[in-house]
């Protein structure tokens, strides 16, 4: 499955589980790619705004992450790093429970579902386990997320994956464009531009 280069920027309307808006910018670098974005949303009784900056290498493997949040309880920041051996640190502290994760996934973002789609070779009907370092929206707490992607169909205009997370006992079908960006994440986000 060949993907095209992501556009310079994209946006999503978040609706369902939360109401909000996300923008993201994509930059190709000599060492890989940089994905920077921001989501502002209202979820249940919580208001939050999360900014993120994700650096990936040429194979779309997460290398470094910086994030900040603003909520009614104040500001938070977190820094994640992954070394060549697959070991993670969070704010400089080793987090062995994240070892083996290759991607970061933000609760606040639809765009981080792009990372494994760019990184892996998928075959129709074959599920691939893709555990990730999961960053919570309200407090930027980081935990391990167990998830699986199964390619359903790769058409000329769109790609459809079945997504499952055993961590949250959640499943849905994710619709992507040919650049690997989410078009529709049911109950979470729809691509606007």
Give the total number of structural domains in the chain: 1
Cα–Cα distance for residue pair 187/104, rounded to 1 Å: 21
Supply 147's token pair: 């998830």
Across the chain, what does the average pLDDT equal? 96
pLDDT at 21: 98
Task: Look at residue 1 in the predicted model and tell me its pLDDT.
Answer: 79
With respect to residue 19, please indicate whether it lies within any of the assigned structural domains.
Answer: yes
Greater pLDDT, 2 or 64 = 64
Q: For 108, left (φ over 0), alpha (ψ -120 to 50), or beta?
A: alpha
Q: How confident is the model at residue 71 (pLDDT cuts 50, 70, 90)?
A: very high
- Mean per-residue pLDDT for 100-107? 97
Residue 3 inside a domain? The answer is: no
Mean of pLDDT values over 66-95 = 97
The mean pLDDT of 76-91, rounded to a whole number, is 97
Residue with more model confidence, 45 or 149: 149
Does the pLDDT value for residue 39 go beyond 90? yes
Specify the pLDDT at position 2: 86
Look at residue 31 and tell me if it is in a domain.
yes
Over residues 24-39, mean pLDDT:
97
Q: Is residue 45 pLDDT above 90, yes or no?
A: no
Average pLDDT over residues 96-110: 97
Domain membership of residue 152 as a residue range: 9-191
> Kindly report the CA angle at 102 between 167 and 189, in degrees rounded to 5?
55
User: Is 1 inside a domain boundary?
Assistant: no
The answer to the question of residue 179 being in a domain is yes
Residue 56 in domain: yes
What does the pLDDT average to over 122-137? Answer: 97
Work out the angle at residue 115's Cα, subtended by the Cα atoms of residues 63 and 109, and round it to the nearest 5 degrees: 100
Model pLDDT, residue 153: 97
User: What does the alpha-carbon distance between residue 154 and residue 161 come to, in Å, rounded to a whole number?
Assistant: 9
pLDDT computed for residue 193 by the predictor: 86
* Residue 180 binned pLDDT confidence (cut-offs 50, 70, 90): very high
Query: Domain for residue 94, yes or no?
Result: yes
Q: What local confidence, expressed as pLDDT, does residue 35 receive? A: 98
The answer to whether position 21 is within a domain reads: yes
């Amino acid at each position: 499955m060949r993907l095209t280069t992501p556009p310079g920027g994209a946006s999503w309307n978040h609706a369902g589980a939360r109401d909000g808006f996300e923008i993201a910018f994509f930059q190709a670098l000599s060492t890989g790619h940089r994905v920077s974005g921001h989501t502002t949303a209202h979820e249940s009784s919580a208001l939050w705004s999360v900014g993120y900056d994700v650096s990936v290498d040429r194979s779309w493997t997460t290398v470094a992450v910086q994030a900040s949040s603003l909520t009614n309880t104040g500001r938070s920041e977190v820094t994640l790093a992954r070394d060549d051996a697959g070991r993670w640190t969070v704010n400089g502290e080793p987090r062995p429970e994240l070892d083996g994760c290759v991607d970061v996934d933000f609760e606040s973002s639809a765009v981080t579902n792009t990372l494994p789609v760019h990184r892996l070779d998928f075959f129709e009907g074959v599920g691939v386990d893709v555990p990730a370092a999961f960053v919570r929206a309200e407090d930027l707490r980081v935990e391990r997320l167990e998830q699986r992607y199964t390619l359903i169909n790769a058409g000329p205009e769109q790609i459809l994956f079945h997504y499952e997370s055993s961590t949250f006992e959640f499943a849905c079908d994710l619709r992507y464009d040919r650049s690997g960006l989410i078009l529709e994440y049911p109950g979470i986000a729809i691509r606007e531009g």
